[in-house]
Amino acid sequence: MEVRADTYLWAIRMYKSRTLASDAIKGGKVKLNGENFKPAHFVKVGEKFTIHISSERKIIEVSALLSKRGSFEIAKQHYVDHSPPPEKKGEFFPSVFMKSNVRRDKGSGRPTKKDRRDQEDFKESDF
């Protein structure tokens, strides 16, 4: 059985549509053994794809061919995921981003430009 690369990536649920998979391959976001390739490339068992989806990097090895899209359980049987664990980003400070640190009287209306500048200066001085 021969399966195109864009069809395979769509079938194993890496992309929501074949068009998105094809565009990602053309855009260089998917590499085959570190090289660019065309969406019409026929996939072979043992090939490794490096996929960049948003800020995430996945390394997929083809273990079996799949041409029809099915459930996730079926799809994950057709590849081996060699992806590194996701990197932990900086700490999240919910108190800074979720609520205002500047008190305003209820009913005083929207903040003026000066009030907003003061709030920004206050937020920047914390760090």
- Nearest-CA neighbor of 8 among 82, 37, 27? 37
Pairing state between β 30-32 and 48-53: antiparallel
Instruction: Encode pLDDT of 16-35 as tens digits.
Output: 999 999 999 999 999 998 89
* CATH 3.10.290.10 domain locations along the chain: 5-81
Q: pTM value? A: 0.67
Instruction: Encode pLDDT of 35-81 as tens digits.
Output: 999 999 999 999 999 999 888 889 999 999 999 999 999 998 999 99
Q: What is the mean pLDDT of residues 1-10?
A: 92
From the CB of residue 109, how many other CB atoms can be counted at a distance below 10 Å?
Answer: 8
CATH code 3.10.290.10 for 5-81: yes
The reported pLDDT for the residue numbered 59 is 93
